[in-house]
Amino acid sequence: MSIQSAQLARIKTLHRTRPRSLLVRWSVCLALVGTVVVWFATDIDLAEMFSSKRLGHLERFLQEDLMPKNLRGDAFAWGGMWQWCVAQFQLNGARAMLATLCISVLAIVLAAVAGALLGAFGARNLMSAHPFLPHATVGHGDCSHWLDRVAQGTRILCILLRAVPEYIWAYLFLAMLGNSAWPAVLALALHNSGILGRLAGETIENLPAKPLRALSMAGASRKDVALVGVFPMALGRYLLYFFYRFETCVREATVLGMLGVVSLGYYVVEARAHGQYSTMLFLIFLGGLLVMLADIVSDIARRWLHKGI
Amino acid sequence: MSKEFKTLPTPPRLPTRRARILLGILLAAVLAFVGLDLSLFDLVPSGGGLELAGKFFSAAFQPAWQYQDASNLPADISPFLLQVGRGLWTTLTYAVAAISLSIVGGMVLGLLASASFWERRSGTWGVVRWSVRVLIAAMRSIHEILFAVVFLATLGITPAAAVLAIAIPYTGTLAKVFSEMLDESPRAAADALAYLGATPLQVFFLGRLPNAIPDIAAYSFYRFECAVRSSAVLGFFGFTTIGLYLRQSFENLHYREVWTYLYALILVVALLEVWSSQLRRKFVA
């Protein structure tokens, strides 16, 4: 047998014995079938979207509605356009951007505090009967300890919190709390505390166990371990997640205004209701700008943290 | 003599950088609180709000199995549970359609935006890479609901409008994350191929991309979960997803129906989450 065919045989055995998973295989099949069904067996039709009737709509929109009212009929005038933008920015744009930013900052900080608590109470290793101690020293059979129940309940609570979209939370709160920024802030905070709670829990569970075990064996209580060991060790990673969620918070905050809270979305809806499509698009553009700024800030903060951890 | 006994500086309790960030964050929160002109009293519902909150939350324990008010229903309406199922089905179909577009678009843009794809090529290609990155940032920065509002204004209401509205920002997000995953994937195989004389395309598609596939698949699934939520919310703007029915029930003060819709949505999202975490365990670990 030549060397080459021996190698080929070896490659074949490697291929045959590669790790395979039924779950992965079925999931891939289901995904493919689902995609085909959705595109061919439902009323979703991208071509219809660009049918002549709709394109007529679009044409009128682009030619007439898009230009600011006082500039209509002129040839495209950059100077007039610029002045118009500045005026719009001073009228509502700046205020709306600031409100959007404030809502998202307050919401993400509330979410971070709640998420840290949820994470700590949901972490399996911290909430076991003997935190971080190896099983050999404390024996088995403790798995139905009430603390495990607490941890389980906390994790389910997190799932509930994050399964409901921010927009629906805000819609519900608005009816109860009336018109202030609170419904938007609370909605963002609740949804994100569910997400941060889960991420914090995972972070705590993935911490290196040895230093925490040392604390525990030296007689530290669960509270001591959590405050002196877990908190400083998990903080860096948690802050990374914090800035990642901050970015999405700003994005969502622009939209929550549509319910009547005075963030950017509020003025977008108002402009649309008055048929001022140029104003609407300009405000959407401002929202995009704000999100990009938040993106850059969060990117810089995360990079800075990475160096410091 | 005293110079020999230099005292060590006391170690900081928290690394100062993180302490400073924490302080900054707290300060920002206080400023935001003041800037929004909020009062803690507004947090407690009063008058009509309180009554509504009581009714709404007590309905949580008895979700509806059929329409709460059978007296003035349209004649051709389907049974309640069927309606819930239909809302979920539309929500899922929009999400699947949107995410399938986004994965294709995100892969193409993600490749073009990654540093590893342009490795071993001349620097002038950097222009392409950076313009793609700007495009991605622009797509990502506008919320799917805003896209939906623009499409409603320009093209009118159609399922495809909802799908595109979700697909555009999701393509941007996926492209950004895909490009990061490609650049962070282990490069040993790619380097080995390059030493053997493979072309840059071969190096990338055989050496680099396969390493990133598990991460890419796991993240795509996570975004699918998000797409389901986004699709549900688009119902508030008139598309026939579960959000539409939820809103109608809420406006008719049928809170028990609202809770049924909420539980149905939570159940689907939670199931998807369990599925995706199982997959991730198989895939990534």
Alpha helix positions (H), B65-208: 80-113, 115-118, 126-141, 144-155, 159-184, 188-195, 200-202
Shortest distance between the Cα of B74 and any Cα of chain A, in A, equals 23
More confident residue, A75 or B94: B94
Touching check for A39 and chain B: CB below 8 Å?
A: yes
Residues in A closer than 8 angstroms to B262, CB to CB, are 164, 168
Q: Give the pLDDT score at B4.
A: 57
Per-chain mean pLDDT for chain B: 86
Please tell me which of A158-162, B61-65, B278-282 the model is most confident about, judged by mean pLDDT.
Answer: A158-162
Q: Give the pLDDT score at B284.
A: 63
Q: Give the pLDDT score at A144.
A: 61
**Per-residue pLDDT tens over the stretch B184-228:** 888 888 889 989 988 888 888 998 898 888 889 989 999 999 999
More confident residue, B2 or B238: B238
Domain ranges of chain A: 80-308
Residues in B closer than 8 angstroms to A305, CB to CB, are 17-18, 21
CA distance readout (Å), A7 to A1, A4, B189, B192? 10, 5, 19, 19
Confidence of residue B171 (pLDDT cuts 50, 70, 90): very high
Between A and B, how many CB-CB pairs are < 8 A?
198
pLDDT exceeds cutoff 50 at B107: yes
The CATH number of the domain holding residue B230 is: 1.10.3720.10
Q: Do the chains contact at B137 and A295, CB–CB below 8 Å?
A: yes
Q: Give the pLDDT score at B92.
A: 95
CA within 13 Å, CB half, A300: 6
Q: Do the chains contact at B246 and A168, CB–CB below 8 Å?
A: yes
Which region among A17-31, A221-235, A261-275, B70-84 has the lowest average model confidence (pLDDT)? B70-84
More confident residue, B242 or B46: B242
Q: Give the pLDDT score at A70.
A: 60
Burial of A122 from C-beta contacts in 10 A (0-12 / 13-18 / 19+): buried
Please tell me which of A143-152, A181-190, B74-83 the model is most confident about, judged by mean pLDDT.
Answer: A181-190
Q: What is the pTM of this model?
A: 0.86
Q: Do the chains contact at B43 and A288, CB–CB below 8 Å?
A: no
pLDDT exceeds cutoff 60 at A82: yes
Q: Do the chains contact at A61 and B153, CB–CB below 8 Å?
A: yes
Confidence of residue B74 (pLDDT cuts 50, 70, 90): confident
Q: Which amino acid is at A152?
A: Q
Residues 209-238 of A with CB under 8 A from B: 232, 235-236
Residue B96 covered by a domain? yes
Q: Is the interface score ipTM higher than 0.95?
A: no
Name the residue facing B233 among A21, A167, A272 (closest C-beta): A167
Q: Do the chains contact at B29 and A39, CB–CB below 8 Å?
A: no
Name the residue facing A109 among B25, B164, B247 (closest C-beta): B25
Domain residues for the domain of B210 are: 83-283
Confidence of residue A68 (pLDDT cuts 50, 70, 90): low
Shortest distance between the Cα of B2 and any Cα of chain A, in A, equals 34
Q: Give the pLDDT score at A74.
A: 57
Residue B97 covered by a domain? yes
Residue B28 covered by a domain? no
Q: Do the chains contact at A295 and B31, CB–CB below 8 Å?
A: no
More confident residue, B1 or A219: A219
Cα B92 from Cα A2, distance rounded (Å): 55
More confident residue, A124 or A139: A124
Which region among A95-104, B65-74, B105-114 has the lowest average model confidence (pLDDT)? B65-74
Structural tokens at position B116: 């590893």
Q: Give the pLDDT score at A65.
A: 66
Confidence of residue B1 (pLDDT cuts 50, 70, 90): very low
Q: Do the chains contact at B43 and A45, CB–CB below 8 Å?
A: no
Confidence of residue B15 (pLDDT cuts 50, 70, 90): low
Q: Give the pLDDT score at A32.
A: 93
The CATH superfamily holding the domain A80-308 is: MetI-like (1.10.3720.10)
Residues in A closer than 8 angstroms to B142, CB to CB, are 284, 287-288, 291
Share of chain A above pLDDT 70, in %: 90
Confidence of residue A67 (pLDDT cuts 50, 70, 90): low
Residues in A closer than 8 angstroms to B279, CB to CB, are 23-24, 27
Q: Do the chains contact at A44 and B149, CB–CB below 8 Å?
A: no
Which region among A191-200, A219-228, B23-32 has the lowest average model confidence (pLDDT)? A219-228
Shortest distance between the Cα of A175 and any Cα of chain B, in A, equals 7
Q: Do the chains contact at A287 and B142, CB–CB below 8 Å?
A: yes
Which region among A41-45, A259-263, B11-15, B68-72 has the lowest average model confidence (pLDDT)? B11-15
Q: What is the CA radius of gyration of chain B?
A: 26
Cα B163 from Cα B148, distance rounded (Å): 9
Cα A214 from Cα A286, distance rounded (Å): 52
Residues 136-175 of A with CB under 8 A from B: 159-160, 163-165, 167-168, 171-172, 175
Task: Report yes or no: B136 and B111 within 8 Å, Cβ to Cβ.
Answer: no
Cα B69 from Cα B91, distance rounded (Å): 25
Q: Do the chains contact at B32 and A102, CB–CB below 8 Å?
A: yes
pLDDT exceeds cutoff 90 at A69: no
DSSP secondary structure, B194-256, as one string: HHTT--HHHIIIIIIHHHHHHHHHHHHHHHHHHHHHHHHHHGGGT-SSHHHHHHHHHHTT-HH
Cα A301 from Cα A243, distance rounded (Å): 7
Residues contacting A34, CB < 8 A, separation 6+: B96
Residue of A nearest to B25 (CA): A109
The arithmetic mean of pLDDT across residues B216-242, rounded, is 92
Confidence of residue B70 (pLDDT cuts 50, 70, 90): confident
pLDDT exceeds cutoff 90 at B136: yes
Task: Report yes or no: B161 and A49 within 8 Å, Cβ to Cβ.
Answer: yes
DSSP secondary structure, A166-222, as one string: HHHHHHHHHHHH-SSSHHHHHHHHHHHHHHHHHHHHHHHHTS-HHHHHHHHHTT--H
Please tell me which of A39-53, A65-79, A185-199 the model is most confident about, judged by mean pLDDT.
Answer: A185-199
The arithmetic mean of pLDDT across residues A254-270, rounded, is 88
Q: Name the domain count of chain B.
A: 1
